[in-house]
Structure 1
Amino acid sequence: MMALAVSLLSSLILVGCPDSSTPTNGGDGEDNGDPPPDFQLAVQVVASGLASPLYLTAPPGDPRLFVVEQAGRVLIVQDGQLLSTPFLDIRDSVRSGGERGLLSIAFHPDYASNGLFFVSYTSEPDGDTRVARYSVSADPNRADLESARVILERTQPFGNHNGGLIVFGPDGKLYIGLGDGGGGGDPQGNGQNTETLLGALLRIDVDAGDPYMSPADNPFVGVPGRDEIWVYGLRNPWRFAFDPEVGDLYIADVGQNDWEEVNAVSANQAGLNFGWNIMEGRHCFQVDSCEMAGLVLPVLEYGRSQGCSVTGGYVYRGAAIPEIQGHYFYSDFCNGFLRSFRYTGSGIADERSWDVGELGSVLSFGEDAIGELYILSANGRVYRLVRVD
């Protein structure tokens, strides 16, 4: 096993207060000023030496951390140690590189009793998107490779915009993010086509049907459109998250040329159209004017002078840092900033730009079983967000 830096003094390498000199832009909220001067955020290294860590999560009620590596492994951090033997290794099945790879893992809400989990990856040899179900083995730190069953597969026309996140929502259904299929500008028009699974957030019931069922309250059940679709009009929803307390849904959608965006809506609103490729952010895409009726515009956007690819995070609902309760955190792959805001239901407020130093290229965020947040970097490190007096 690889020893980790667990001493607060040795591993709190980045410390800072909110930096009001670099406000988020494109939001319609306001900066309410800095927290008290004795309050700081920092990041603590909990794992290092990882190869393209793309995701971190934990089963409900489980203190372990499960870290996804792009090439096709899932590793466990247990009791402050990165275990040398992977929980899952499917590198032979994964086509990795660029935006492809093993992209996420989701544990069934009843994982403690049924041992089921799901992974999303791009498959060899063609890079198609697959969602597969697995069971844990008799060893709680090892998956049963023989239990694999692909439950959903979608051909990808290009090598990018795969989406890739899978998450169980507050309703117990599995949500699957899929990009528009790539190619630049959505050449196949998938974002506005509800007859394809691409460019959409899907919602399926993995506890019914074989291998799943589309819930009856999905918006296109019984009408034209794919039964699995929950919302659509997305370019590349690399990361999305539910607020476990309020139930709101946040979708960070990567932009094309000019604008990165974060969408926030009530999670029970089905059939919403987020506008791609009519819109990029709050702007008509490649035309001077466009029909915006019926489209849901982002609550926040920022231009390419500040970044190139939004990395969505989570709403903080942990107990360790009460001052940031309700803040949604996000970053950017190119810029590596750390920012947050509160969603009010009609807009955003209390925008913050946190000066925690150099994070590198932020690949993803993670959340443990008690709501504490983590940042995953292309430098191979996993950081925990912590409070410092």
Structure 2
Amino acid sequence: MRTSRRTAGAMSAMVVLVAVRFAAGGGTPLTVELVVQGISDPVFVTHAPGVFDRIFVVEQIGRIRLFNLQTETLTTYLDITDRVGAGGEKGLLGLAFHPDYINNGLLYVNYTRPGASPFDTRISRFAAVGTPATALTASAASELIMMTISQPFSNHNGGWIGFGPNDGALGYLYIATGDGGSGGDPGDRAQDITGQRLGKMLRIDVDSGEPFTMPPTNPFAGVITGDDEIWAYGLRNPFRCAFDSATGDLYIGDVGQNTWEEIDIQPGASTGGENYGWRCMEANHCFVASTGCTCNSALVVDPVHEYSHSGGRNCIIGGEVYRGCALPGLPQGTYFFAENGSEEIWSFRGTGLLEFTDRTAELNPGLMFGISSFGTDAYGEIYICEQGSDRVYRIVSADPPVNDCNENGVEDACDIRDGSEPDANMNGVPDACQCMTPVDGDVNNDGMVDIFDILCVLDGFAGVFTTCPLVDVDLVPCPAHDMAVDIFDILAVLDAFSGSPPCCGA
């Protein structure tokens, strides 16, 4: 638990460990801990890149709440309830922070509002107030309306937005849209690539002009009039999607019609243009005729996973790919997702569905109702939103940290990731925990550790560096120096003199 990074086992009324031990499929036994409560209809949780001490919870009504993981305080970061039309499948549905947020303070939202048709989807940009890394609010008055999409019905609004990790320094924002609603896509909009934004994955450039420009590498850019922003199509209601931050693979949880739910994966190396089949296909099964595709066409990209509406299942909740640091026994790249109706949670790895595991007994033993989303913090740890009790949980290990050399209750890899512990040689071990060999105590470089080395470090402690320079007598922490000669450097040389490896910080 990292809500208090230096106090192992710290708890408060808002952080409760749910003690459920169960190692499904082997590996790290997982459980969940309650992190945030006192919120309303959470639909998403995420983080700002490079900001480790906080997460942001999206409330459907039109608020973004900031939860400080260190102080365990909950505040309102942005309130746009005055312009959001919420209820049912409508509301504030998506949030993405610019990859360079820590410098530019920009964030993007996806929300619905009353319009002429009868609702619109709006993609807008806002700006943090003050220094982004420590900003407590974003300005509602800073809104830049980037895109408005007319919605013919009130459902199937998609909602997810996110930045692609494979786009480098380019600010390419991906926008998932539903097919316009009703049932069965009556307008055949998902297959329409003649200026129709609904039922699509869009991709726009938010850095090269306002409100946005079209990436020239989009698959239909300059080919079909009005389709420059389309990245992929044939989607019904991609409510929750996620990028694998390591590979760039895009996981799409596409909510089905009457019978099937599906997960699609677009490879990180994709150049776009995929047709995921709706409405001629519902997952791997023929649905109804469409002008854009035919049943079982080789041109349609099949889902990597599907499941039927049985046992109360009716709505897939696309999840997140694990690339964190606190679960060393969990394979990197494990994808977690859930089912809203039956409250089940599963995981697998990659397009081959490796280690497909039912995680329900571990992660949801009757705790969560109405799972609405997954999200991550800056460490890459995964959170789960649920609307039944309006809470956010975090997936954690049921066991103590495996690698915790400084005994602070935190995995060493997480200390290194947030910079609280340096790792100059990048070997995965905090520098303060590494040991030198006895020869490293040879501060005067004469090939042996003797009384002259002890005298050198004592001189350095007194501020005298005529015999041995500071860089040689400043041993601890190793291999990165702290530019000070203190008792730890003296002890390190004494250890070396006695023939023992002089452990840093000992």
What is the TM-score normalised by the length of structure 2? 0.70
Query: Is the Cα–Cα contact under 8 Å of residues 160 and 183 in structure 1 kept in the other structure?
Result: yes
Aligned to 1:93: 83
Q: Deviations over 1:292-348 (max 9, x none)?
A: 22000100000101411000111100011123221110001111111000114xx32
Partners of 1:65 and 1:183 lie apart in 2 by: 34
Aligned to 1:52: 41
After superposing the two structures, state which structure 1 stretch, 310-319 or 118-127, moved more.
118-127
Q: Deviations over 1:327-374 (max 9, x none)?
A: 110001111111000114xx3221000112122110001111110000
Runs ≥4 in structure 1, deviation > 6 angstroms?
Answer: none
Q: Does 1:209 find its partner at 2:209? A: yes
Q: What is the CA-CA distance between 1:290 and the residue it aligns to?
A: 2.1
Aligned counterpart for 1:372 among listed residues 363, 377, 381 = 381
Aligned to 2:243: 242
Task: Tell me the secondary structure at the aligned position of residue 103 of structure 2.
Answer: helix
Aligned counterpart for 1:167 among listed residues 152, 162, 167 = 162
Q: Deviations over 1:245-277 (max 9, x none)?
A: 122111010000000000112133210000000
Task: Say what the alpha-carbon RMSD is for the aligned residues.
Answer: 2.1
Query: Is the Cα–Cα contact under 8 Å of residues 127 and 139 in structure 2 kept in the other structure?
Result: yes
The AA in structure 2 aligned to 1:298 is P
Q: Does 1:338 find its partner at 2:345? A: yes
User: Mind listing any 5+ residue stretches in structure 1 that lack a counterpart?
Assistant: 20-33
Task: Tell me the secondary structure at the aligned position of residue 102 of structure 2.
Answer: helix
Query: Is the Cα–Cα contact under 8 Å of residues 46 and 80 in structure 1 kept in the other structure?
Result: no
Partners of 1:318 and 1:301 lie apart in 2 by: 26
Query: Is the Cα–Cα contact under 8 Å of residues 76 and 82 in structure 1 kept in the other structure?
Result: no
Aligned to 1:30: none
Task: Tell me the secondary structure at the aligned position of residue 251 of structure 1.
Answer: strand
Aligned counterpart for 2:319 among listed residues 306, 313, 317 = 313
- Counterpart mapping for 1:131-280 below 5 A: 131-138=123-130, 140-170=135-165, 171=167, 172-195=171-194, 196-224=196-224, 226-269=227-270, 270-280=272-282
Aligned counterpart for 1:79 among listed residues 69, 73, 81 = 69
Q: What is the CA-CA distance between 1:7 and the residue it aligns to?
A: 2.5
Q: What is the CA-CA distance between 1:13 and the residue it aligns to?
A: 1.8
Q: What is the CA-CA distance between 1:138 and the residue it aligns to?
A: 2.4
Aligned to 1:294: 299
Query: Is the Cα–Cα contact under 8 Å of residues 18 and 352 in structure 1 kept in the other structure?
Result: no
The AA in structure 2 aligned to 1:280 is E
Structure having the higher strand fraction is: 1
The AA in structure 1 aligned to 2:22 is C
Q: Does 1:350 find its partner at 2:359? A: no
Q: Does 1:42 find its partner at 2:42? A: no
The AA in structure 2 aligned to 1:333 is N
Aligned to 1:31: none
Task: Tell me the secondary structure at the aligned position of residue 82 of structure 2.
Answer: helix
Query: Is the Cα–Cα contact under 8 Å of residues 68 and 74 in structure 2 kept in the other structure?
Result: no
Aligned to 2:16: 11
Partners of 1:14 and 1:186 lie apart in 2 by: 44
Task: Tell me the secondary structure at the aligned position of residue 190 of structure 2.
Answer: helix
Task: Tell me the secondary structure at the aligned position of residue 104 of structure 1.
Answer: strand
User: Mind listing any 5+ residue stretches in structure 2 that lack a counterpart?
Assistant: 400-506
Q: Deviations over 1:80-136 (max 9, x none)?
A: 556454110000100000000001111111111111111110013542100111111
Q: What is the CA-CA distance between 1:18 and the residue it aligns to?
A: 5.1
Q: Deviations over 1:201-220 (max 9, x none)?
A: 00000001221111001011
The structure-2 alpha-carbon separation of the partners of 1:375 and 1:258, relative to structure 1 and needing over 3 Å to count, comes to: same
Query: Is the Cα–Cα contact under 8 Å of residues 136 and 142 in structure 1 kept in the other structure?
Result: yes
What is the TM-score normalised by the length of structure 1? 0.90
Larger radius of gyration: 2
Aligned to 1:130: 122
The structure-2 alpha-carbon separation of the partners of 1:375 and 1:6, relative to structure 1 and needing over 3 Å to count, comes to: farther
Query: Is the Cα–Cα contact under 8 Å of residues 190 and 199 in structure 1 kept in the other structure?
Result: yes
Query: Is the Cα–Cα contact under 8 Å of residues 75 and 82 in structure 1 kept in the other structure?
Result: no
The AA in structure 2 aligned to 1:380 is D
Q: What is the CA-CA distance between 1:149 and the residue it aligns to?
A: 1.0
The AA in structure 1 aligned to 2:104 is N
Task: Tell me the secondary structure at the aligned position of residue 123 of structure 1.
Answer: strand
Q: Does 1:383 find its partner at 2:372? A: no
Q: Deviations over 1:165-219 (max 9, x none)?
A: 1101111410000000011000000111112000000000000122111100101
Q: How many residues align?
A: 368
The AA in structure 1 aligned to 2:164 is G
Partners of 2:235 and 2:337 lie apart in 1 by: 18
Higher relative contact order (CA 8 A, sep 6+): 1
The AA in structure 2 aligned to 1:294 is L
Partners of 2:62 and 2:334 lie apart in 1 by: 31
Partners of 2:191 and 2:19 lie apart in 1 by: 42
Q: Deviations over 1:124-171 (max 9, x none)?
A: 354210011111112711112221110000000000000011101111
Query: Is the Cα–Cα contact under 8 Å of residues 281 and 296 in structure 2 kept in the other structure?
Result: no
Partners of 2:354 and 2:338 lie apart in 1 by: 17
Partners of 2:89 and 2:307 lie apart in 1 by: 22
